[in-house]
Structure 1
């Protein structure tokens, strides 16, 4: 009897202890969604006429940051975003051209770690779909840098309908994990990347582990390739011309709070003529290009909707942080001319809405995408480095917040590790790791007072800039003359104040010189080979 009573008592005691023990909460899933060559004003919640209800919904339910920065170009941004340090420190100071200079070796350094590597070491499953572009040879592919599964484009650009080399003797690779694959019939890159992202999420379902997903869309990078039904929605939208569209976007951006009431619209770029001076054939050609471009952004948004529905289906929607941004501003680059194959040069003459075409929207389209700013991808004026940034995480981020605090892609690694409750390592696989540069955004997400302590630095192809507080210095290669802007009153960088405040210029220039030495920046004249991708 006594023994039976003791057994019953122990069972009761165990049950009480278990009931009182804290439940181990599953760590949050993390998704980073990166658009490619998409300008600051190209989505609805940042002022666009393009239909992006999914991104608009994430912004409405989460946080928009209006002064978030990238690194002005595809692969440098990707290197910095993935590692939490500046691109030069990560080994991709320029492009993926391999050079015998550590900061410009063209692939990720052994002295940095990716978000995937750190999270994988701490119990996460890690997945990537989309454009890689931070190392084109093994062992520098995604699975070599911490991802469990991968599908996507290893290189910087390609047709959306399958493999189509555009330069002589070029090799392009679409890979599944570590093996090259040939896309099948009906392939469209934006859909395919999302298909695999959702497939990986399904595979993770039984693992009991949180996941990290890096979904790096190719869209809307050239060539302008979209699906017919998507193009049809924008067939007549751009016939009023680029001057009118820029003005409409600018006014809308002020109405919804992306820009302050004191904001000014920069003048039309000098490479872009007034719309009313064009022949009708030129107007029609541009309107067609923009319809395709809009359709590409629209399709990306549709796929973000598919991803969100998959999260709901898996019951993970409330425990997932989603970050969205673009890798640089809209691109003025053109397709055709020297460096392209005869077939691609001919395809550049076809209408963008023709699926056989291979074209870009060039200076006029980029000038619209980057409204209200000056310049484009590759430059470090606001038009090249400002990105629309959205953060969404139910339960952590208060709904409908706008922040005008300045932040940078190096902050993403710090944020992801902070949210996951993970420390940044000092060593990894026997290598000393470069200290992190970023600041976690988690306090900002929680509605606390937050301000980035450090200056933000930029260098790409000799174009340089420093942002500290409201002040920014910027210089354009090869003139290398510092200009000074107060972004609180002049976000569009219209009035150069360098002559008025020479001490402020000297102060920020000294910070730049110190950073450039620390980061391993080399004068661009010493590395310029004319390579552009």
Structure 2
């Protein structure tokens, strides 16, 4: 007897009698995708510039991404927001980033509708729609779309991946993570990494393993059910980490430098047809030194930095290829709509000289050539948190000017690839129609012949703000349907309209030019400054003729410039772009609402999951204490009591060799330590660290407040040291852990996790400033012993 099905909510079509023998059954129909519906694979790269992938003329080997491009289409005119969280919001919602409250990264949210980081549920995500049409929905890798304050084990979880339409998730919630020691979440829970670097672990391989497992698990149980896989790698965001043998493959490949790289890639892009013959390479960036003017040591260091980055990208491409091979093996590759895109241009967060530790940038710590050279052999490995120099950022964005977080095309124009062998017959073609990340969701829905959802979980949906470009799949000459697009990031502004582009750079066209006016990246915008910018700073480019923004024609076309400026302000009002805010440090340090009430005292227990870094205590530039209530067994104990951060910056209180120790890791540069003069005896004790400021911080020079570091056992002072400076803004991206050191160790004095072998009853971190009053004679005696 055939099964009778009916639409849930409609009348029961069977018959109900007094008994089953007198009745006929019917079943609510399960949600099924239409027959032959394609899979959707969205592969999102991070901080990969227009001129880095092989298929876009770049000199990095990406054979698997190139394979997809060769089997499909390259879009030469795809645009992003110039920063990660905003771009991802556009990709998944089909709305502009300010419309979703994601003006900036989640860590810099501020209290205005376009900036608060609380993505509204009326802006439904692509997986929420596809789930209702019978798709499995999986996310692997970087999320960065939930407020940092909500990324804890207390939730709420409604803005985590599983709360926004994904059925399964494996990855990291923040903006970046250590590739050797990642901060992993599976579904709605923090987990330990499955292996260590010495066992061959690297996150790129792990993410591919998980993606393959999710696809295969679903396929063998329901072969006809399509999937949507959002595969969002950590590559090529800092830290640039790669296995050493992959790095060695690139030895010598970039010795010619960034000027030669840019010339070579520009020529290749023209040969490929990505650029018209009339395109010009913009003038040399004022912030980048000419390669020929650098010393041999600088050549050696900077070339190595690029070798590491290239290895990272190639290694990630290799593991992406494993996923492609899996789809081919199970017969699903041809019926998979694949889209590959980067979230923004290449990153400048390494500074002018690059860095062995990206946390220098976030703490405003100047890097030095000598320091970088001393650690050249660590680059890419577990003991570095490296990022390349501005020259490679600029080269990676060839043929455009500038980079990530700015709205010149180097920050906002990125590689984009589409492949769907069963439906897109073109192979290796190029499309030049204007497109933006807000167009991806409408394009997927259009290609799948699906309409945008009217409601999702009872919430009426806002209109999509992007437009489909699926009509260009088979028609290279089809007209562009996206004719106007605004941009704003840290008050850096631009607008595209009908082949023209206006840009208002902030703090200036380059950092060098901005410095002449006393401005720097992250400088706040004031009404007086804005008035000046409106009359003097806007630039105009005829992109239809000058795609690389080489010639500013504002003086020749003042009426056109006024038209575009007026249009930018109209778009700003429409999409919640105001108020303009060019600040950085102020936004990162802004107070934001948390689920728990404001507090200065945190009590932790050893059974806890990792405390995410955004919700760990903020001990910067203030008096504070860490106290562990412990039992030491008769045979003694050792291990970590409290750890926060990692080798890129952090602090740890631990017991080793019978003594109590505290170490403050200042951006991986200085390890400042205080040790107890006496051992810790068996029994129950209060083991305490205190920090008492003795001076003022110098944030502009990357120095937090100096102070006195002291250790106590049961309120008896047993250790004292002076810290000349401390971390001013943020330790790093690792969270805090109790009773062990999660992931990357704060220092090499122990191997993680270095679990405490006694009993921890609780650990209290107190930021109130309530400190023990010391006997100054005891302090002086201990200082003499340190």
Q: Same fold (TM over 0.5)?
A: yes
Deviation readout 1:95-135 (Å, 9 max, x if unpaired) = 21343322212142222101111101111110010100111
Q: 1:17 corresponds to which residue? A: none
Q: 2:141 corresponds to which residue? A: 130
For residues 528 and 430 of structure 1, do their structure 2 counterparts lie closer, same or farther at Cα, with a shift above 3 Å needed? farther
- The answer as to whether partners of 1:268 and 1:367 remain within 8 angstroms in 2 is no
Match of 1:356 among 372, 383, 388: 383
- The answer as to whether partners of 1:347 and 1:356 remain within 8 angstroms in 2 is no
Q: 1:198 corresponds to which residue? A: 212
For residues 147 and 264 of structure 1, do their structure 2 counterparts lie closer, same or farther at Cα, with a shift above 3 Å needed? same
Taking the aligned partners of 2:321 and 2:479, their CA distance within structure 1 comes to 31
Query: 1:295 aligns to what SS in structure 2?
Result: helix
Match of 2:289 among 265, 269, 273: 273
Query: 2:285 aligns to what SS in structure 1?
Result: coil
Q: What's the offset of the Cα at 1:274?
A: 1.3
Q: What's the offset of the Cα at 1:412?
A: 0.3
Taking the aligned partners of 2:581 and 2:428, their CA distance within structure 1 comes to 46
Query: 2:313 aligns to what SS in structure 1?
Result: helix
Q: 2:180 corresponds to which residue? A: 161
Q: Which runs of 5+ in 2 are unaligned?
A: 1-32, 351-357, 508-532, 589-732, 734-786
1:115 aligns to 2:126 (yes or no):
yes
- The answer as to whether partners of 2:69 and 2:418 remain within 8 angstroms in 1 is yes
For residues 530 and 266 of structure 1, do their structure 2 counterparts lie closer, same or farther at Cα, with a shift above 3 Å needed? farther
- The answer as to whether partners of 2:506 and 2:582 remain within 8 angstroms in 1 is no
1:272-421 aligned within 5 A:
272-334=288-350, 335-337=358-360, 339-340=362-363, 350-351=375-376, 352-397=379-424, 398-421=426-449
1:74 aligns to 2:84 (yes or no):
yes
Taking the aligned partners of 2:538 and 2:248, their CA distance within structure 1 comes to 46
Q: 2:564 corresponds to which residue? A: 508
Q: What's the offset of the Cα at 1:447?
A: 2.2
Normalised by the length of structure 2, the TM-score is 0.61
Taking the aligned partners of 1:369 and 1:339, their CA distance within structure 2 comes to 22
Deviation readout 1:288-343 (Å, 9 max, x if unpaired) = 1000111111112112211111101121111100000100000111224374599x
Taking the aligned partners of 1:338 and 1:211, their CA distance within structure 2 comes to 39
Match of 2:248 among 232, 241, 244: 232
Q: What's the offset of the Cα at 1:528?
A: 5.4
Query: 1:405 aligns to what SS in structure 2?
Result: coil
Taking the aligned partners of 1:333 and 1:192, their CA distance within structure 2 comes to 26
Alignment: residue pair count: 501
Q: What's the offset of the Cα at 1:261?
A: 0.9
Query: 1:424 aligns to what SS in structure 2?
Result: coil
Deviation readout 1:253-303 (Å, 9 max, x if unpaired) = 111111111111122221211112211111111111000111111112112
Q: 1:454 corresponds to which residue? A: 483
Q: 1:467 corresponds to which residue? A: 496
Q: What's the offset of the Cα at 1:27?
A: 0.7
For residues 28 and 338 of structure 1, do their structure 2 counterparts lie closer, same or farther at Cα, with a shift above 3 Å needed? closer
Q: 2:226 corresponds to which residue? A: 210
Q: What's the offset of the Cα at 1:204?
A: 1.3
Q: What's the offset of the Cα at 1:450?
A: 3.5
Query: 1:103 aligns to what SS in structure 2?
Result: coil
Match of 2:468 among 435, 440, 446: 440
Q: Which runs of 5+ in 1 are unaligned?
A: 1-22, 164-172
- The answer as to whether partners of 2:341 and 2:417 remain within 8 angstroms in 1 is yes
Q: 1:14 corresponds to which residue? A: none
1:49 aligns to 2:74 (yes or no):
no
- The answer as to whether partners of 2:179 and 2:204 remain within 8 angstroms in 1 is yes
Q: What's the offset of the Cα at 1:378?
A: 0.5
Taking the aligned partners of 1:302 and 1:380, their CA distance within structure 2 comes to 31
- The answer as to whether partners of 1:348 and 1:357 remain within 8 angstroms in 2 is no
